[in-house]
Structure 1
Amino acid sequence: MSKGATVSVLYPKTASSTFDISYYLSTHMPLVADTWTKYGLKSWSVTQLSVDAPYSVHALMEWESQEAFAEALKDEGTAKVMGDVENFSSEKPVLLQGEVIGRG
């Protein structure tokens, strides 16, 4: 039985990268929730990473299943979600996804 799925979104940090965390939290993540909750997005969290990390921000999204995330990507609103990245980050995000196989 599936315990759900997670999608991690990591924003690379370089010497010249920029990231507007205020916009991300107040505009982008509500857009994500509005677009994808109907497909099984259960929750999300955002972590601002330490100064020495190779990424500036990590977003973790909890999904009902990997199939639910795959269906969400087919939604026409997904283009708006992905197109919004340029409004807060100078870097393209790295997406990692997988099935949850254990919880504590």
Structure 2
Amino acid sequence: MATPPGLIVTVLYPRSSDLKFNLNYYLSHHIPLATKIWTPHGLLGVTVGETLAESTEFAYTITTQWKDLEAWEAAQRDQTGLKELMSDVPKFTNAEPIFVVAKVVSKE
């Protein structure tokens, strides 16, 4: 049985009139890079969503599932991995990602 997540981190990319987002690059390069760097710290999975309504505040929502808060914090302390990931962001978007960290309180 797979480990249930104890924490989710949602990454939001705001919609704007000048938004650039290379979804192909994001899916083929950035997500595999994040998975490679963060799985040893406790990343359990990633779900990428593209919002359907152009009237919504965010164009893309990414949900990452983590073993627990300690796993997320360990990933954030990995300065080498974090630097590599953040330096990759301008290669696929001009948006500043927003991170929302939440403890899982229910899973159906």
TM range (shorter): over 0.9
C-alpha separation between the residues in 2 aligned to 1:81 and 1:7?
A: 15
Distance 1:90 1:3, change over 3 A: closer
Corresponding letter in the other structure for 1:13: R
Q: Deviations over 1:6-48 (max 9, x none)?
A: 0000001101111000000000000000000000000000000
Q: Runs of 4 or more off by more than 6 Å in structure 1?
A: none
Q: Secondary structure of the residue that 1:10 maps to in structure 2?
A: strand
Corresponding letter in the other structure for 1:73: Q
Tell me the equivalent position of 2:98.
Answer: 94
Tell me the equivalent position of 2:50.
Answer: 48
Q: Secondary structure of the residue that 1:22 maps to in structure 2?
A: helix
Structure 1: gaps of 5 or more residues:
none
RMSD, aligned CA = 1.2
Q: Secondary structure of the residue that 1:8 maps to in structure 2?
A: strand
Q: Deviations over 1:53-80 (max 9, x none)?
A: 1111111000000111010011111111
Identity of aligned residues (%): 30
Aligned length: 103
Tell me the equivalent position of 2:65.
Answer: 62
C-alpha separation between the residues in 2 aligned to 1:3 and 1:25?
A: 22
Structure 2: gaps of 5 or more residues:
none
C-alpha separation between the residues in 2 aligned to 1:35 and 1:41?
A: 9
State the TM-score, normalized to the length of structure 2.
0.91
C-alpha separation between the residues in 1 aligned to 2:70 and 2:102?
A: 10
